[in-house]
Amino acid sequence: MYNRYAESAGLKTEDLESSPSELGGLKEVIFRISGESVFRKLRYESGVHRVQRVPATEAQGRIHTSTATVAVLPEAEDVDLELKPEDLRIEVSRAGGPGGQGVNTTDSAVQVLHIPSGMIVRCQDGRSQIKNKERALSILRARLLERKQREEAEKYSAQRRGQIGTGGREEKIRTYNFPQSRVTDHRIGVTLYDLDRVMNGDLGELIRSLQAADVAERLKESSLA
């Protein structure tokens, strides 16, 4: 869905890291989207996305529910957050899993431990150790910046929590109901009966509605202040 949205919006995507699921498919995917105003457009996608569907293996026609958690983080630059070499423990190993001939012949997988926070990032998708290290540090920097910003927001703006744009991942923000071809964004009460179009990347109406609700909420808060 996001790849198709990026393509239609003239944005560039780059796969950074992925982890396959034991049940098939993917357990986690990390990718970079770059382009004009990209964070302003996609920041509202952070949260729990609920999927309701009838699997092909379901003989009784019962609806199964699953969820996917999305985190949208702005990419941090060195000026935003400095990573001190003494705070990092970097290890290299041979990449595992599928990947074609040659994937296990070099020590290309990189794992970075940020000692003060205990945060660990591992990258092995690329065959270049240098490239994987750059990707791992980029992901680590973005996650640490997000944590820092979240802590500051919780300290100075408790009233803002739970509102549009906070990125609270514990909350269900949207439901995709396949039997009814329905998409509902629970934060703003918008329902669309055009699921195929949304899954094909047409997120414009939802994004515009979320942006408008965010502006209205900010104006309300400023007037109260």
Is residue 23 in a domain? yes
Q: Distances from the Cα of 212 to the Cαs of 51, 105, 156, 209, in angstroms?
A: 25, 52, 24, 5
**Residue 79 pLDDT:** 56
How does residue 96 score in pLDDT terms, banded at 50, 70 and 90? low
Distance CA 144, CA 119 (A): 8
Boundaries of domain holding 20:
2-72+167-224
Number of H helices, E strands in the chain: 5, 10
CATH number at residue 7: 3.30.70.1660
| Same domain for 152 and 101 | yes
pLDDT digits (tens, 9 = 90+) for 153-180: 676 555 444 434 443 445 689 999 999 9
Final residue in a domain of this structure, among 156, 175, 203: 156
**Residue 162 pLDDT:** 43
- What is the percent of the chain with per-residue pLDDT over 70, rounded to a whole number? 85
| Same domain for 90 and 149 | yes
Is residue 162 in a domain? no
Residue type present at position 36: E
Q: What is the mean pLDDT of residues 6-28?
A: 89
Q: Which residues contact 177 (CB under 8 A, 6 or more apart)?
A: 52, 53, 183, 184, 195
Q: Which residues contact 141 (CB under 8 A, 6 or more apart)?
A: 75, 76, 78, 80, 81, 83
- Domain count for the chain, please give it: 2
By the 10 Å C-beta count (0-12 exposed, 13-18 middle, 19+ buried), 139 is classed as buried
